[in-house]
Amino acid sequence: MGYINHSFLIRIAVLGGLLSALPLPVFAKILIGDSNSTLAMMSTQVLAATPDDAEVLFDTSSRILTDPEILWSPTAIAGVTDSAFDTQWQLSNGILWPSALTQVSQLPNLPSDEEEDATESVPESSEETERPASDVDSEPSALDTGEIVPDTGQAASTAEDDLLDENNWPPTELLADPNPLVVPTLESEIFLQEGEERTISLEEAIELSYFNNQDLQVALLGLEQAESALSEARAAFSPVVTTSADVTSQETDTTTTAFGTIGDDGLDTSLNAAVSVNYDLFTSGQRIATVRAAEEQVRFSELEVDRQREELRLETTSLYYDLQESGEQIRINQAFVDEAARNRRDNVLRQEAGVGTTFDVLRADVQLANAQQDLIQSQSQQRIARRNLARLLNLPSTVNVNATPVPAPDNWEETYERWELTLEDSVLLAFQGRVELEQQLAQREISTQQARAALAANGPQVSLFANYSWSDLLDDSSDNYSFGARFDMVLVDGGAARARARQQEANADIAEENFSEQVDLVRFEVEEAYFTMRSNEENVRTARTAITQAVRALELANLRLDAGVGTQLDVLTAQSELTQAEGNWVSAALGYSRALASLQRAVSNLRSTL
């Protein structure tokens, strides 16, 4: 192998390492050639350094790149972004740093639309905050980590805290299998033991749904996907460094001619290596628009997680009340069966004593048979409600659950939750809190930014490049390098870019129309839930009075029958009326609870509830 220009290779490696380690706005400043940038001066010194100096700088650069605490410290970032500091250097932690690297500041803000055409930089948070020096090593904030926090004018979402509260996890036996591809194959893996149901409260059911439900997990994965897309969009502000190398061996043979032998038998080996750096300096605002669209998509996905949580909470509440209602129907029908059996027994005794008739016994038999059928049907409905709730909660295949009993009618006034807002206040609150409205605004902004990106694709594009290659063949090595700028611009594309922009503009108009439609739908949902809740509230009071009267009427019917002044028909009628009154009360009470849950869903997005 021939001589390799080691000194120049070291210079290129040092320069590439320094540039790749810089924050992106500083990197762009160096590429532009800002004369006030100390690091630009430093890169010039690297290229002009002697081999010995280059070795020293290479060692310093290696230490910087391998020490993240030094590389990404706020002091380092603030210093290299300051164009006013001088070129004096001092030794700190064994590394030569500029003496002005002593202050803490934030990276530059996202430029406005007017600034996009002049220059492009990495979009960062628009809020500037100062952190005390003692907090430098503390837990990173959302600004430090690049987390997107949508400005919705409401309290910050508590979705992550609710889902990942390790101090309040449900029991392990109620958590879903972490492997979603597991399918039971044995009878013992799906067998449900009757009578071993686990009773859970409504709050526990909602918490289980947050942990186990697949739809919510899909929404969270969609949020992760959007965050990855945002990282991909921001990567466009980074330089692209590529390298390649190849080794080629070629056999050569001797050739005999009239003038003698030409060439030698043997194997010639050649080695080639290349390094290139490319950076898009100006893209007519395409990168900015792409990043902003990705940020809005992240916000849209965050809102979708909140929306899915609210929908899941409402559906869980509804299915839980279905299970409660089926249990109450079993209790009512069981009481009716017991009363019908007692009534039949009394009629048989009267018949045996000669004071009753066969007709009365037959009517009692029919009543008992009908009551037993209603009981069997309600038991079936309870099994269905249990499995439906277990499906939504994604419980293990051998777990069966039961709901807590409905409070007794006498305790309902003290236990039920009241809605204190008027209908008008409820509608206005819904307009302020529903994530569906925010989602349409986010979708409109996404389409607007995508339209800008489509138009910017035909605008002027300026990029910088640097290439270095080295080759060795037959002990003869050579190397060369090149750098420069490239200008591209599409003059004619047949209107394709403008057509893509019009498509996105149409999508923005569609989002506006969907917003208007969603406003009407939100109002209707609030009004429907409000009216249903108020009607069921009145029905509960009426049903409670009816139960009291039906109980008294049944007692009087039995007394009249025992006294011989009443008939069996009076007792049967009173029993049926009591059963109907109790069923009406259960339907009204749970109907009120369902309507209240629907109203809470209609006005909230989980940022201020539960």
Predicted pLDDT at 474: 63
Rounded alpha-carbon distances, angstroms, from residue 347 to 367, 380, 449, 555: 12, 30, 82, 17
CB-based contacts of 402: which residues, under 8 Å, 6+ apart? Answer: 197, 198, 199, 200, 323, 327, 386
Strands 89-92, 260-262: pairing kind = unpaired
Let me know if domain 239-282+460-492 sits in CATH 2.20.200: yes
- Half-sphere exposure (CA, 13 Å, Cβ side) for 462? 13
Q: Indicate the pTM of the whole model.
A: 0.68
Which segments of the chain have a pLDDT < 70?
1-168, 252-266, 474-475, 605-610
- Half-sphere exposure (CA, 13 Å, Cβ side) for 322? 19
Distance CA 208, CA 297 (A): 28
Rounded alpha-carbon distances, angstroms, from residue 601 to 64, 377, 526: 53, 32, 9
Predicted pLDDT at 455: 94
pLDDT digits (tens, 9 = 90+) for 443-459: 999 999 999 999 999 99
Strands 95-98, 476-488: pairing kind = unpaired
Check for a shared fold between 198-238+283-458+493-603 and 239-282+460-492: no
From the number of C-beta atoms within 10 Å of its C-beta (0-12, 13-18, 19+), residue 513 rates as exposed
Predicted pLDDT at 259: 64
User: CA 416, 583, 415 angle in degrees (round to 5)?
Assistant: 10
Q: Which amino acid is at 256?
A: T
Q: What CATH number belongs to 198-238+283-458+493-603?
A: 1.20.1600.10
Predicted pLDDT at 119: 43
Distance CA 76, CA 39 (A): 12
Chain centre distance of CA 53: 51
pLDDT digits (tens, 9 = 90+) for 508-540: 999 999 999 999 999 999 999 999 999 999 998
**Sequence spans of domains, the chain:** 1-109, 198-238+283-458+493-603, 239-282+460-492
